[in-house]
Amino acid sequence: MGFRSSISKPALAVTLAVQPNLLTMLSSKIIPTFLTFLVLILFSTIFYGCPNAKDAPPVEIPTSKPTSNITNDTIPLFDGQAAYSLVEKQLNFGARVPGSKAHTLCRDFLLSELRQLTDTAFLQSFTSEIYGKQIRFSNIIGSYNPKSVKRILLCAHWDSRPRSDQSTNPSDTASPCPAANDGASGVAVLLEIAHKLREKTPTLGIDIVLFDGEDYGYEHDLSNYFIGSRHFAGNLPFSKPMSAVLLDLVGDKDAEFRFEPSSYNSNPTAINKIWDIAARRGCGYFKAEQGNGVSDDHDMLIQASIPSIDIIDVNLVGHVDKNPRRKYWHTIHDTIENISPETLQCVGQCVLEYVYTF
């Protein structure tokens, strides 16, 4: 995904005065977590007082009381190991770079899965000229209860980044990103959710949408990111969902999911409910506190007035996490070794409960 800071401009200016040696890092629009923390501590009045601080809404900490009287028995058990195998399955095609053979083969696999698992599945395909190349993109869509007016949307991106431009080794930067976490993890969770929805379909309308072309743009060229979700938001194939949940970077062994500010602004009910479910289930990957902001497919949905959230391990973005193993975003090291069935299980189970109790 593209990225941006959760810090307002006045706070940034002050930060620059304090930390001039961080200009290089700031030039890539990345504000490390510790810096955000520093600013929050030192300049909390500026941060919260800034009229432009729409990325920093007041945060309510969710309570841990049950969100409904639906018991855990009513909600199917998500299979984290099955989801892990679905990550492997996608990686076996190779990097799913738009225009590549692996992209076509994986598209056909995902469509055939959704055809088996949903009431109706189809491709939303279109061609765009990007960086002088005509590229065929396809959003892959599967729906339950397609005629229902009350709908929710679950989404992730299935494409791989064409380049590993965050690799420290210059000889790696032209290689495509394997995209185990940055793509395949979210898709795997949604496919496994589809298996559970097939076994016991709620009456609610549910759309699973796998976006193409999320990660196509050169760094900072946000107009060429989110290609599939932008097209989808402008050409909705069904009635507008009441809530959308985007999954991105949801498979790391040491994942940390915090409230993403634009998500919180757009759909605080969904954030509070899902983090509440996680707390009740003892799923510690979900931290009930504000995290950094990020540009991602959910922005395209929010712009189309769809209340949307992004469940994302945002500290992977820009390598702000201090753990050396977790500095693999947009590198050739975004591989299966970083993924754990436990994290996938936790995310899948919480989203599944959100759907069944919506």
| Interface residues toward Zn ion, by CB under 5 A | 1, 182, 215
Minimum distance, C-beta of residue 331 to Zn ion, in the bound complex (Å): 11
Minimum distance, C-beta of residue 161 to Zn ion, in the bound complex (Å): 5
Residue-wise DSSP of 26-41: HHTT---HHHHHHHHH
Minimum distance, C-beta of residue 53 to Zn ion, in the bound complex (Å): 26
Closer of 1 and 53 to Zn ion (Cβ):
1
Closer of 182 and 207 to Zn ion (Cβ):
182
Minimum distance, C-beta of residue 333 to Zn ion, in the bound complex (Å): 13
What residue type is assigned to position 222 of the chain?
L
Closer of 215 and 353 to Zn ion (Cβ):
215
d(CA 272, CA 283): 14
Minimum distance, C-beta of residue 198 to Zn ion, in the bound complex (Å): 29
Minimum distance, C-beta of residue 238 to Zn ion, in the bound complex (Å): 27
Closer of 162 and 307 to Zn ion (Cβ):
162
Tell me if 32 sits within 8 A of 318, measured CB to CB. Answer: yes
Closer of 1 and 114 to Zn ion (Cβ):
1
Closer of 182 and 276 to Zn ion (Cβ):
182
Strand (E) or helix (H) holding 286: strand 286-290
Sheet of strand 151-157, all strands in order from the earlier edge strand to the far edge: 120-130, 133-144, 205-211, 151-157, 243-248, 308-312
Q: What token pair was written down for 44?
A: 């909390």
Closer of 75 and 317 to Zn ion (Cβ):
317
HSE of 36, CA atoms in CB hemisphere, 13 A: 21
Minimum distance, C-beta of residue 256 to Zn ion, in the bound complex (Å): 17
Closer of 184 and 193 to Zn ion (Cβ):
184
What residue type is assigned to position 296 of the chain?
D
The contacts found for 127-136 with CB under 8 angstroms, 24 or more apart, are: 128/213, 128/227, 130/216, 130/224, 130/227, 131/218, 131/224, 133/99, 135/98, 135/99, 135/213, 135/216, 136/98, 136/99
The contacts found for 37-44 with CB under 8 angstroms, 24 or more apart, are: 39/7, 39/11, 39/14, 39/15, 42/14, 42/18, 43/11, 43/14
- 237-275 core/surface letters (b: 16 or more CB in 10 A; e: else): ebeebbbbbbbbbbbbbebbbbbbbbbbbbbbebbbbbb
Minimum distance, C-beta of residue 76 to Zn ion, in the bound complex (Å): 30
Q: What token pair was written down for 240?
A: 């507008």
